Structure 1
């Protein structure tokens, strides 16, 4: 391969001179009316090159004014701007929406972290580019510059290089412009949104095959098979000690390796092809720090390429800053294995931030070059690796490191995942269920998996301890069955998540966003850190504390904005504008759909893979809303040339009259099935006086199309997508909305309490009849109080 050809980038890194102002040793560039670059250089030489963090500075700048006065440069518009000391580069203040802000770090809503390795709970987060004060700063002073040939280098001059975001509380706009500045989030391959199997364990070839077959027998769908580090030789002393002319130090550590362990995988090519035949994508673990050593299959060819005599058996050190090393690294190692079936690489770098170029973090280099290399041949790139620094959103997916199996670790992940949106990092993948330490806890496993199913990537993972597998059948009866249902649900959610994936790529909106993105001026939105938007239609509030032993219920305090919300697991509906303390058994947690929500779900919940579905169940909540589902081939860059299709759904509600519309598909029909079955599930409607289905003006006989599933009105629609050029309308008249039977809910709740039956009768019966809350311990009373909030 040619390094320059493979890794050079065509970037718009220079701001037009008309949008810059120089005064003394300072240059201010106006990128938008709310985004300013402030540079300070002792010799007055400034950087126009792209850097590790910033790729694009050629924005369409608005009209602005500037003033040079008393050693200060003031630049901006009437409502926004910056004031900079011309001889020091100190930002005296920023202005956001007319408000002067001196401390650019106060009120920062934080960003994300490098790794959770070695932690057991909450850790400090780096800063994001949004702040409650209205102003935030991105410091790019220490970034290396990107050269035209794809290499990186230190800056020619030591300088201060800051980006001042003065977006007030328009957080989404700040993130969108950050992504314009630093590089957007790519469109992720569709397979990434199914269930991943991963485990640090020395499987044999047959053991891994047997495991995948067991998943299939249990009807548990997977999309990604992960092979951890034991794919290569690990016990080097056992295998290679005593080889003449070798350095004993070269077989001291087995973390790095590039040759398949033929004791475990006697025919790895056949193994990879078998996984492919099961409709699985394959990722393989890498620890590149120890370079290429004498025992590797490709050593002789690699050594010759690097100008080393193979007869010396000399180790070729890892050097991510050497273009020739990286050419051989990809061409002689990774490309061969990709041709044989490996789809992408899990870069498990944990060896620090130093390299042969001062300031070049090997993690950043590996992420950058691996992602770009994986994009070759017209396919979409993807890697799995830790967060290196701002700009890492260009290299999805994120690996958050080895999570400890503790409630504290789970408790931190919903908050930290949502908060990462504040630095544009939208695709975290966690060790769902925890990686190591801790103790067996079925409840913790289920709660973690509930979060995983409603998180960016659902990757089950654990360490090599034989008794710590995350397979559902290795847990108790209840946990096992719940886990299977959750994994099947994740498979069904792919059409919804993939649409959100497109929105992230196109508009910069994350799948998981903090509540304050939609309600930045409501104080309550800042006090529900562990709940988040899951796409445009749902609010999720994962349960991250164990249940009460007596009630069997766990609590989470949920903030509901104004409106009506329906829990997709319990069907309970709530009026918003308040906090509601919700209680749930192990079987579910609050997943709340807004009024008018529309969710496309795959009807297939057991197959491996993530193809565009032949059948869709559309969950529709009464209210007014629309949803446009996005589809393409899931893997290539064809969407850039129009190879994608969109299907719009709409629901309109006026009293007890509901109209649901499926609009004709727009776009490229070649990427979707020619025919599709739709099951429209009016989730909160239990009956109706009449239902009419029309294709354009043609009225359908609905006798065989209407049925009820779990108490909800459902209508079946069969469409020839390629021929349909008129909308399908379902008109429901006299719709009756589900209403919770609070008396039955009260009885069911108390019946499950693990306490004396005589106590139940004496304390709860009278309260049941009077409608008042019982006089009893808070732990027993509060779950009943939740019922008062139900509609």
Structure 2
């Protein structure tokens, strides 16, 4: 009882402290908020006010005392937009507002908005619609959810309930309405703080009437609700995370293993055992709780010095190895007396007698002291950002109705902006509309299962419908369902590989698992073929970093997240809505992760390709879209299709840390079959300067067909601190015939086997030509022209036939019984790439010989002494490659 009285007394103190002044924010760091719209956009008539924000977006307010809101809200922070063209007329008692796209009518002096007095209809575009208040939106394309804790796929394992993704901003109906009437406002203090609206009965609605122009809707929403901030560049690297009571020594050994196996790594995540957890114990509700309902032992801010005797030296070690560090926070239990910061913060908050200092994120006085006295010293030691793991009461105890999740995201993100030169970054759970301004999402504890993996591509892509573009999942799943038998409580290597492949082509790549001894996800702990597939996924992620980072800038500028559903670009194609397991990854890649187990060594997939031409990265094949195709994939293969002719910027293989990415070298991979214009983005990597013009863009134009390829890299535009003045470009041409002539900036290049600068080389195993251009000034253009030699018949999908034949021969050799030697044609058929390397001038003839060989291989094996089951297995493996 004494503790409860102390909490209530502390609350009174916190209430009085809420008005204390905040630190001034550097104006160049924290984006300004403009709650008041331009005067020319506002139409007020008595108790109603309409604001024309865009031709497709109108704010609609009703207030009984004709007092309206001009302050930013939790969701809408920038209403001051360019005034679009519109007209206003009064026809009797009817007020009519018309834009290029919408027609709104309201019966004047008829009170709050109802079906009887307000309607908005489309004037142009498809589909046509007429909306009235109360209309049911049947075609909403959904948004996202706070967490996937304890879900297998979209089914909650405890209750069997389906996960509700809520309402998104996009709808096949053509319209959507955001009711902002109950959201909190942000005051005009230096650190804007939540406050209640004066009128609880007022209406504040935002009508979105964009039809199927989904990308435009998201872009306009970003203008009025705030942009999707860019994470720092390192965040797009690999994050290692495991719920385990690691020691300093063990983590040093872990880092050494990553370096020993040359596996790239950028972020080290330390779960809650970094601090003391003495009060933690489990019960039937998963965790012991105190009298306030908070989890005992999960909250902590003092290093566990039995595990980390010298935290400063440990963090210095991680930084010396170019690793960013985040630690887990469960702040709900406040600051108890055993914390190192307790004497200072209890004094500041006037909490006496050893009572805990209660946690209340809505109280500015407490929050300022909390950061100053408890968290900032840890940041000074070397914690780069926070993993905020809030799982307690949903609303503030101080300000009823204010979501703790939403508000904590705001407080932690903006605090970092106010006090650090580093780019704002947290990862936490989704708190609702407006939370897209505070990345990155932590989706929680998913069940280890194939359904969980199969659901995550849809879940992640759909979140872009509310601009929440940076979900971070527990790759590989978090824990086994309680019903899982003990014999099955081990990692399925195939499932883990497929999950890691999805992670490589998702916003954030972070492995994690629960505190269970058998859940070891270090890649080197698996069999060689699994280890190779896991490492390849991570390496592919690092290779794609320039492409991913460019897409992050596009998301900031235009509101379209890097991972998005197919219907954004093909809104009139029914299969763009029904195909849930595929998504666009940036502008030029379509990804359809494998989410089912293999059968007989391959996983079968039915893939819908949108209209247009696509380059199958796995097969080396140009494919016509607008149809469904069937494909099969071995363990190390990922279904990725690139737009024909697209240029994808990549890192050279030497990049092991994304902090080192801007080293002046880039690989431009030009897909066959078309032409494109794109841009490559770069900035300093971890500052807020990207918001204020500190970045560069490089325009790239290309065109490629069977006979030729041209590439123009225009002079770089823009500047940022630390930018190099030179750039070294390697041009990569997959599925290319042998070049006959390569000209760079007017100079003819010759072939070199070792890929020296100023020459071209050919990789027969990958059927890829590479042109390595010496470093030159980034302010000068680069012109590359390639003329190809004869393209052999059947060259399309040759890469697939080569890989499958080599795999079949390797399989056969393991089952071949002496003394009869393997037939010569079998050995040669598995080495076409090497033969091309040795004799590129004979490429056409070698390919013809290869196709002739593989057509006869099954017959040769059938005529051999091999066992019947071996003959059958080999024939099955070769079935898909024989022409």
TM-score (norm 1): 0.89
How far apart are the structure 2 equivalents of 1:352 and 1:744? Answer: 58
Q: Which residue of 2 aligns with 1:447?
A: 498
Pair 1:706-2:760 in alignment: yes
Q: Which residue of 2 aligns with 1:37?
A: 59
Pair 1:638-2:689 in alignment: yes
How far apart are the structure 2 equivalents of 1:784 and 1:94? Answer: 61
Contact 2:858-2:878 within 8 A present in 1 as well? no
How far apart are the structure 2 equivalents of 1:2 and 1:716? Answer: 59
- Deviates most, 726-735 or 655-664: 726-735
How far apart are the structure 1 equivalents of 2:607 and 2:95? Answer: 47
1:554 pairs, out of 579, 603, 616, with 603
Q: Deviations over 1:418-448 (max 9, x none)?
A: 1111111111111111111154211111111
Q: 1:295 to 1:24 in 2, by over 3 A?
A: same
Query: Structure 2: where are the runs of 5+ without partners?
Result: 1-19, 155-162, 282-289, 482-488, 817-853, 860-872
Q: Deviations over 1:152-198 (max 9, x none)?
A: 11110012221110011110000001111111111221000000001
How many Å apart are 1:368 and its aligned residue?
Answer: 0.5
How far apart are the structure 2 equivalents of 1:49 and 1:665? Answer: 40
Q: Which residue of 2 aligns with 1:94?
A: 120
Q: Which residue of 1 aligns with 2:3?
A: none
Pair 1:740-2:797 in alignment: yes
How many Å apart are 1:644 and its aligned residue?
Answer: 2.5
2:153 pairs, out of 121, 126, 129, with 121
How far apart are the structure 1 equivalents of 2:300 and 2:510? Answer: 24
How many Å apart are 1:670 and its aligned residue?
Answer: 5.7
How far apart are the structure 1 equivalents of 2:431 and 2:874? Answer: 47
Q: What is the total number of aligned residue pairs between the two structures?
A: 759
Pair 1:363-2:405 in alignment: yes
Q: 1:476 to 1:84 in 2, by over 3 A?
A: farther
Pair 1:76-2:98 in alignment: yes
How many Å apart are 1:569 and its aligned residue?
Answer: 2.9
1:383 pairs, out of 421, 426, 440, with 426
How far apart are the structure 2 equivalents of 1:655 and 1:475? Answer: 42
How many Å apart are 1:723 and its aligned residue?
Answer: 6.9
How many Å apart are 1:361 and its aligned residue?
Answer: 1.3
How far apart are the structure 1 equivalents of 2:771 and 2:856? Answer: 46
How far apart are the structure 2 equivalents of 1:477 and 1:134? Answer: 51
How many Å apart are 1:14 and its aligned residue?
Answer: 1.2
How many Å apart are 1:47 and its aligned residue?
Answer: 1.5
- Deviates most, 419-428 or 190-199: 419-428
TM-score (norm 2): 0.80
- Deviates most, 86-95 or 448-457: 86-95
Contact 1:6-1:373 within 8 A present in 2 as well? no
2:363 pairs, out of 322, 326, 339, with 322
5 Å matches for 1:52-451?
A: 52-68=74-90, 73-77=95-99, 79-84=101-106, 86-90=110-114, 92-98=118-124, 99-102=128-131, 103=135, 105-122=137-154, 123-149=163-189, 150-158=192-200, 159-236=202-279, 253-309=296-352, 312-355=353-396, 356-375=398-417, 376-438=419-481, 439=489, 440-451=491-502
Pair 1:626-2:645 in alignment: no
1:479 pairs, out of 515, 522, 530, with 530
Q: Which residue of 1 aligns with 2:656?
A: 607
How far apart are the structure 1 equivalents of 2:235 and 2:722? Answer: 18
Pair 1:3-2:22 in alignment: yes
How many Å apart are 1:403 and its aligned residue?
Answer: 1.3
Contact 2:612-2:625 within 8 A present in 1 as well? yes
How far apart are the structure 2 equivalents of 1:522 and 1:478? Answer: 39
Pair 1:505-2:529 in alignment: no
How many Å apart are 1:51 and its aligned residue?
Answer: 0.8
Q: 1:278 to 1:667 in 2, by over 3 A?
A: same
Query: Structure 1: where are the runs of 5+ without partners?
Result: 239-246, 758-763, 770-778
Q: Secondary structure at the match of 2:361?
A: coil
Q: Secondary structure at the match of 1:671?
A: coil
How many Å apart are 1:601 and its aligned residue?
Answer: 1.5
Backbone CA RMSD of aligned residues: 3.2
Contact 1:657-1:735 within 8 A present in 2 as well? no
Q: 1:475 to 1:746 in 2, by over 3 A?
A: closer
Q: Which has the larger radius of gyration?
A: 2
Q: 1:476 to 1:702 in 2, by over 3 A?
A: closer
Contact 1:488-1:605 within 8 A present in 2 as well? no
5 Å matches for 1:505-524?
A: 505-524=556-575
Q: 1:767 to 1:663 in 2, by over 3 A?
A: same
Q: Secondary structure at the match of 2:594?
A: coil
How many Å apart are 1:39 and its aligned residue?
Answer: 1.8
Pair 1:574-2:595 in alignment: no
How far apart are the structure 1 equivalents of 2:306 and 2:558? Answer: 49
Q: 1:509 to 1:459 in 2, by over 3 A?
A: same
